[in-house]
Amino acid sequence: MNETLRWTRKDLLGIAPLDAPEIELILDTAESFLEVAERPIKKVPTLRGKGVINLFFEPSTRTRSSFELAEKRLSADSMNVSASTSALVKGESLLDTATNLQAMSPDLIIIRHQHPGVPHMLAKRLEAGVINAGDGAHEHPTQALLDALTIRRNKGRIKGLRVAIIGDIEHSRVVRSNIQLLNKLGAEVTIAGPRSMMPAAAHALGATVSYDLDEALEGRDVVMMLRTQLERHKRSLVPSVREYFKLFGLTHARLARAADDVIVMHPGPMNRGTEIASDVADGPASVILEQVANGVAVRMAVLYLLSTAATGAAPTAAGQSDKEPHAGDGAHRGES
């Protein structure tokens, strides 16, 4: 753990603004939260008295439930607002909804939205810290952070690893956040997919670009498969699911090209038989469910760090505030 770096940001909007020590601080803090899940009573008092609002405008299983669980494990007072049951359906603007929620004095607002930049717009206008839980095809920072934690725990490092990210690159926010994070921590990233799912400026993303799955898999330490995001396709981008699986689906036979100790990742939700064979998804190289478990600890770390920045002081085990904020003080590890 970096004992000297302090978290100072009000918001977590993307990986782009973070530097490597900040990313490592989040990962180290998440490591220290992992053991909370092993306790008989999975709760610490760290965010007692803090208010968190989860504002999801797109469907989510993993991100939403792991933020909710992280908030509960930290003893925060959390509340969910979904677009379909809010006054948005009566014509209220997103900004009016958000400023009304702000009037209730939450400390943090988690937002997922289909339009890129919405979390950034809210962060500028709201006093509460804002966490981007996925904005269109732009960024999904907590996904990249939980992916990095999973890689680091399995491989012992990120620097120097050869990572392939395969699939629907154009429509993926996961790939954009992951390329930036992996580059900042010194990994070598290759992206691969059909030309119809590759953005025009793919080479500007910061990764080697391939259109051949076998080439992209050769010798890789980490293989990250992406979901084919049919709901974001304005037209059919592949002749058929069968054709896609034949060209870009991950099977055991194709995975044999990767390193012997390769790990297979997927952010979920998975389309089995489209981008990944079921026996690979459930096979010995798969760390897909570890990603989900690590997601709770990463989100606990992000909530903890942002709330210490918001108050200017780290909560103690007793739920009070220290005069000297310090993310590495271990205060969050106290039992409730």
Q: Which residues bind ligand CP (CB under 6 A)?
A: 60-64, 134, 140, 143, 267-269
Q: How far is the CB of 87 from ligand CP (least distance, A)?
A: 24
Say how far residue 187 (Cα) sits from the centre of its chain. 18
Cβ pair 142, 295 in contact under 8 A: yes
Q: Based on CB atoms, which residue is closest to ligand CP, 140 or 162?
A: 140
Determine the length of the chain.
Answer: 336
Q: How far is the CB of 55 from ligand CP (least distance, A)?
A: 14
Q: Based on CB atoms, which residue is closest to ligand CP, 60 or 75?
A: 60
Label residues 41-78 b or e (16+ Cβ within 10 Å = b).
Answer: eeebbbbbebbbbbbbbbebebbbebbbbbbbbbbbeb
Q: Based on CB atoms, which residue is closest to ligand CP, 145 or 310?
A: 145
Q: Based on CB atoms, which residue is closest to ligand CP, 61 or 93?
A: 61
Question: What's the Rg (C-alpha) of the chain?
Answer: 20
- Read off the tokens for 46: 């760290």
Euclidean distance between CA atoms 312 and 314, whole angstroms: 7
- Read off the tokens for 103: 């009037």
Q: How far is the CB of 271 from ligand CP (least distance, A)?
A: 13
Euclidean distance between CA atoms 163 and 159, whole angstroms: 11
Q: How far is the CB of 103 from ligand CP (least distance, A)?
A: 28
Selection from 192, 179, 112 nearest residue 148 by Cα? 179
If DSSP codes are grouped into helix, strand and coil, which group holds residue 196? helix
Question: What contacts 242, CB < 8 A, 6 or more positions away?
Answer: none
Q: How far is the CB of 137 from ligand CP (least distance, A)?
A: 12
Q: How far is the CB of 269 from ligand CP (least distance, A)?
A: 6
Q: Based on CB atoms, which residue is closest to ligand CP, 247 or 293?
A: 293
Q: Based on CB atoms, which residue is closest to ligand CP, 111 or 309?
A: 111
